[in-house]
Chain A
Amino acid sequence: MEMLDQYLKTIKSLLPKEQQDDIIQELSENLRSQIEDREAELGRPLTQAEQEDMIQQHGNPLVVAGRYQQQNRSVAFGRQLIGPVLFPLYIKILCLNLGLTAATIFAIGLAMGRGLEFGSFLIHGLIQFAIVTLIFSTAEKYLQRSKDRWNPKDFGIQGKGMPIPALLLGAFSKRATAKDPTRVPRSESVVLIIFNVIFALWWIPIVSNLLQKTFVIQGMPLRLGPGSSMLYLPILLLSIAGTMVTAVNLVRPKWLWLRASWHTLSSAIFVAILGLSLKAGNWVVFAGNAGQPERLQRIVERINHGFGISMSIAVIVSVLVFLIELWKLLRLRRGHSLPIAPINGVELS
């Protein structure tokens, strides 16, 4: 029954909080009654495959949870862009995105003594609204095409405590690819592209803005120093390159070598970026004239010392990640999970 429990848990995570327990308890009873009935008919317990089929027939958790939403709201410009199933998640992501953007822009404005910068928020907010809506309308299209092709096992393995990724995996997974070790799951590529785009949307305006600002903390004018500014462009380029590689894998899911090589290369580049930042040091510097009182200089030194320790830990973790990725790449090259070769010109899929 582990699969059923995971399935219910995934649906639960998508329901409104105040109704979660009640709906899940009822749904659970109904499904268990159905299983018992079927078992009584067959005179034996259901096999794993039969349970999987039954859950599959019950429906994609996204769709099931969507039907319990008492609201029927959607986004439509002429035709429906985001339907009632994805709408609650769309609103959550949009609010989270806009909330974080507003908090950051307003905090910077206040710290600079310029008050609440509504104009700046409006521009960034509109851009993010357009991008998030575009992503979700694409997701809606895909969901409509593939809502019956989800795999219950995705929720058993990947859904633990991760409602949003589980939801996206559920929306985009295909039965044929879910268990296939010779392909990069399309669900994984779609999730990564969405996260990379959201990350870039954040990184470009927020960090470039931060780099130009002067912060006044307890009377000290500070700005980000060379150790911080040198992170901006390489990380942005890494994210863009990652999106492009993932997009290629979306079209060519059998190119496992591409994903493994990119993971190894990008983790090596990330180690180098962090190493250079560590070498540059001075993540925070005085924005005012030279000759600050010694007491203030000591405070800045302490802040940089804290950054130095964090950065050193990040370098160590990144080196470990790089070694793991390198090991995976070498394992793949040795043929542990090589793609199935075409037989007589016919590709197996």
Chain B
Amino acid sequence: MIHSTQSDVDLFENLRLELRRGCLVLAVLAHLRTEHYGYTLRKALADHGLDIDEGTLYPLLRRLESQGLLSSEWREENKRNKRFYRLSPQGETILAKLLDEWNNINASLTRILQEV
């Protein structure tokens, strides 16, 4: 019988977060091919089964913008000023490369799992 200790749980949690981190960036970039502001982006990702807490998503958007992958503008919607993000031309190039990489990894992993 296998017992799951606290350190196993912590280890799994760390590895899960590590795995998720890169995927989240990919999901955010992919979703911002259409324009969103922070809250609607979070809802849209959640609707696709990818929950991200606000504390992670909003700073991530700013980081991706400072890296030149996103562009943003303040615009009024429903009489309120909101900051809308979308993929920048540089972001589009990087996203395409990242998706290729993702597909390669996914294909390799599928092959490995089928062999085992």
B81 touches A29 (CB 8 A): yes
Contact between A58 and B39, CB atoms less than 8 A apart: no
Taking a contact as CB atoms under 8 Å apart, the answer to whether B54 and A70 are in contact is no
Cβ of B49 under 8 Å from chain A: no
Chain A, residue nearest B56 (CB): A67
**B80 A58 Cβ-Cβ under 8 A:** no
A32 within 8 A of B: yes
CA distance A29 to B58 in the complex (A): 12
Range for the number of chain B residues in contact with chain A? 10 to 19
A27 interfacial by beta-carbon distance below 8 Å: yes
Cα distance, A29 to B78, chains bound together (Å): 12
| Pairwise interchain contact A26-B38, C-beta atoms closer than 8 A | yes
Complex alpha-carbon distance, A59 and B54, angstroms:
9
Quick one: which of B56-113 are within 8 Å of A by CB? 56, 58-59, 62-63, 66, 80-83
* A72 smallest CB distance to B (angstroms): 11
Q: What 1/0 mask marks residues of chain B from 38 to 63 whose CB sits below 8 Å from any chain A CB?
A: 11101100000000011110110011
Distance (whole angstroms) from the CB of B22 to the closest CB of chain A: 16
The distance in angstroms between the C-alpha atoms of A67 and B53, with both chains bound, is 12
Q: What are the residues of chain A within 8 A of B59 when measuring CB–CB?
A: 67-68
Q: Report yes or no: A29 in contact with B83, Cβ–Cβ below 8 A.
A: yes
Q: Which residues of B contact A29 (CB under 8 A)?
A: 37-39, 80-83
Interface centre among A27, A32, A33, A59 (most CB of B within 10 A): A33
* Set of chain B residues within 8 Å of A31, measured between Cβ atoms: 54
Measured CB to CB, the closest approach of chain B to A316, in angstroms, equals: 49
| A30-B39 CB under 8 A given contacts A67-B59, A68-B59, A70-B66 | yes
Which residues of the partner chain A approach B54 to less than 8 Å between Cβ atoms? 30-31, 34, 58-59
Closest 7 pairs between A and B when the two form their complex, measured CB to CB: A33-B39, A67-B59, A30-B38, A30-B39, A59-B55, A26-B83, A68-B59
- Verify A58–B55 contact, CB threshold 8 A: yes
- Judge whether A23 is part of the interface by a CB distance below 8 angstroms: yes
Partner of A32, one of B40, B42, B62, B80: B80
For residue A59, which residues in chain B have a CB less than 8 angstroms away from its CB?
53-55
Q: Indicate if the CB atoms of A34 and B39 lie closer than 8 Å.
A: yes
A91 at the interface (CB under 8 A from B): no
Q: What CA separation (Å) do A32 and B55 show in the bound complex? A: 15
**How far, in Å, is B23 (CB) from chain A's closest CB?**
18
- Residue-wise interface mask of A (306-336) relative to B, using a CB-CB cutoff of 8 A (1 in contact, 0 not): 0000000000000000000000000000000
Nearest chain B CB to A338 CB, angstrom units: 40
Contact A30 B58 (CB under 8 A): yes
With A and B bound together, what is the CA distance between A23 and B82 in angstroms? 12
In the assembled complex, the Cα of A64 lies from the Cα of B53 at a distance in Å of: 11
Given the interface pairs A70-B63, A70-B66, the reply to whether A26 lies near B80 with Cβ below 8 Å is no
Chain A residue, CB-CB nearest to B59: A67
| Chain B residues, Cβ within 8 Å of A32 | 80
Q: Do the beta carbons of A30 and B63 come within 8 Å of each other?
A: no
Residue in chain A with minimal CB distance to B55: A59
Tell me, yes or no, whether A4 is within 8 Å of chain B by CB: no
Contact A64 B55 (CB under 8 A): yes
Q: Which residues of B contact A143 (CB under 8 A)?
A: none
In residues 8-45 of chain B, which contact A (Cβ within 8 Å)?
Answer: 37-40, 42-43
Indicate whether A138 reaches chain B with its CB closer than 8 angstroms. no
Note all chain A residues with C-beta closer than 8 A to B58: 26-27, 30, 68
**Once bound together, how far apart are the Cα atoms of A70 and B60, in whole Å?**
10
**Among the listed A25, A26, A63, A70, which residue makes an inter-chain contact with B55, where contact means beta carbons less than 8 Å apart?**
A63
Sample of 16 further A-B pairs with CB below 8 A, known A57-B53, A59-B53 = A23-B62, A25-B81, A26-B38, A26-B58, A27-B58, A29-B39, A29-B80, A30-B38, A30-B42, A31-B54, A34-B54, A37-B39, A58-B55, A67-B56, A68-B58, A68-B62
Which chain B residues lie closer than 8 Å to A70 at the CB level? 63, 66
Q: Which residues on B sit within 8 Å (CB–CB) of A64?
A: 55
